[in-house]
Copies of this chain bind each other. A is one copy, B any other.
Amino acid sequence: MSAGPDRLHAIVPAGGAGTRLWPLSRRARPKFLLDLTGSGRSLLQGTVDRLAPVSDSITVVTGRVHASAVADQLGTDARIVPEPGPKDSMAAIGLAAAIIARDHGSDAVVGSFAADHLIGDRPAFERAVATAVAAARRDDVTLVTIGLTPTHPATGFGYIAVGAPLDPGEGTTSDRPAGPAAGVDDPPEAPPAARPVAHRADGFQEKPDAETATAYLAGGRHLWNAGMFVARAGALLDALRTEHPDLHDGLQAIATAWGSAEEGAILAATWPHLTAIAIDHALAEPLAARGRVAVVPADLRWTDIGDADSLATVLESGADAGPDAIPDAGAGTHAGAGGPEDGPAGAGVVAEPHTVVVGDGSPGAFVHAPGRVVALHGVPGVVVVDTGDALLVTTREMAQGVGRVVTQLRDAGLGDLT
């Protein structure tokens, strides 16, 4: 990887089990390690694949318990920073940023991206990153976030209020032709897509209620916060020193010792005492209040595959979902396709390809039960996930509440299954 003006040093915090996707996801087999879409690549691998063209380096911060699995999946594609224990996103991103600043200088631009999201429109993502990197180099900006055009009044995401466009000047790119990273996959006859324009972020809102979310969508001034933050490493660490000096100092101490003989001792002495806080609260909100945050609006065909409904929607969208959403589009992702034994699948049933589904009256159903014969009768929108050791039956409408099942299993002494 060679440094370039539009490129960054990517940070991928890989944590969180994804309990709403139980029983597919487990503590020991978190969402980011899974190949949920049957692409042959896990969500983490897809994230690294997507970041490679825009990155000078990729650093994955993950729990020690997952470090070897992550290394198995990524090989030499990324540096792995194992955390002794979960300390939320600020510690993970801050440690990686401090290591990057040590190795590449404080002017290196870093960007954090979740390990378990899907992005259907990669060229649009690359254009958004280029705009974000340029904005992060401006003197009047400390932190840049990429905000996603909302497609429905979601109550499960935070929102970003969009302000005025940044003044043209260094770092604004709206009047420049698309760079080489943009439009790579566009048909030759189409004009190159323009990079998006960075705006001032007026603020961050926590997950809203349904009424507020509907108003956000109608107003057109709010974007989803998907945790994509871009900044110069030095600016990010300076801001952290201001907001959370203890956390800053601890992370700097660890970063200084990283890779040396003292690493273990410093980690053991420091990590347990670090403040556990999300970067949204630690930096984004206070910096936005001081007018130091920019937001890059982007329409990326993004999803976090938060639950089985979301996964089913991705699988349903098939060929339209983009390169890292559905590599094997079409009939192959649908019920019963793939062999002479296939039964008359219910119309609109989405199933894992190695599942045979018969029955009818169950449009919109989602079945993941590899190697099994599953009969659905009159259960539209049902979700059936069979992992051998556990069987979940819910509906797509209710799937977002499956995390409660995980809690119940643990309360019932069945935590081994979670």
Give the interface of A toward B (CB within 8 A). Answer: 22-23, 340-344, 356, 358-361, 369, 372-379, 382, 384, 386, 389-395, 397-399, 401-402, 404-405, 408-409, 411-414, 417
Contacts A/B (CB < 8 Å), 29 sampled? A23-B375, A341-B412, A343-B414, A356-B414, A358-B408, A358-B409, A358-B412, A358-B414, A359-B394, A359-B408, A360-B408, A369-B391, A372-B390, A373-B409, A373-B414, A374-B391, A374-B392, A374-B393, A375-B402, A375-B405, A375-B409, A376-B393, A377-B399, A377-B401, A377-B402, A377-B404, A378-B398, A384-B393, A393-B393
Question: Given A395-B378, A408-B359, A341 and B384 touching (CB < 8 A)?
Answer: no
Which residue among A373, A377, A378 has the maximum number of chain B CB atoms within 10 Å of its CB?
A: A377
Residue on B nearest A389 in the bound complex, by CB: B373
Q: Is the CB of B382 within 8 A of A379?
A: yes
The 8 Å CB contact of A343, one of B360, B394, B412, is B412
Bound Cα distance from A369 to B404, whole angstroms: 22
Of B344, B384, B394, the residue contacting A408 (CB under 8 A) is B344
Assuming A379-B398, A405-B377, is B391 touching A372 (CB within 8 A)? yes
A402 contacts which chain B residues (CB < 8 A)?
Answer: 375, 377
A411 and B373 contact, Cβ closer than 8 Å, known pairs A378-B397, A379-B382: no
Is the beta-carbon distance between B343 and A409 smaller than 8 angstroms? Answer: yes
Interface of A is mostly: mixed
Residue of A343, A361, A389, A417 with highest tally of chain B CB at under 10 A: A343
- Residues of chain B within 8 A of A22, CB atoms compared: 375
**CA gap between A382 and B383 in the complex, in Å:** 12
A413 touches B359 (CB 8 A): no
Chain B residues closer than 8 Å to A382, beta-carbon distance: 379, 382, 393
Q: How far is the CB of A71 from chain B (nearest CB, A)?
A: 32
Cα distance, A344 to B397, chains bound together (Å): 22
Q: Give Cα A284 to B409, complex, Å.
A: 56
Complex contact A412–B342 (CB within 8 A): yes
Give me 9 other A-B pairs in contact (C-beta within 8 A), A377-B398, A378-B397 excluded.
A22-B375, A341-B413, A373-B389, A373-B409, A373-B417, A375-B409, A376-B394, A377-B393, A379-B395
User: Which residues of chain B are within 8 angstroms of A391 by Cβ–Cβ distance?
Assistant: 369, 372-375, 384, 386, 391
Taking CB atoms, residues of chain B closer than 8 Å to A379 are 382, 393-395, 398
Closest beta carbon of chain B to A9's beta carbon, Å? 41
- Residues of the B chain whose Cβ atoms lie less than 8 Å from the Cβ of A405: 358-359, 375, 377
* A229 CB → nearest B CB, Å: 34
* Bound-state Cα–Cα, A411 to B336, Å: 14
Question: Could you say which residues of chain B place their CB within 8 Å of the CB of A373?
Answer: 389-391, 409, 414, 417
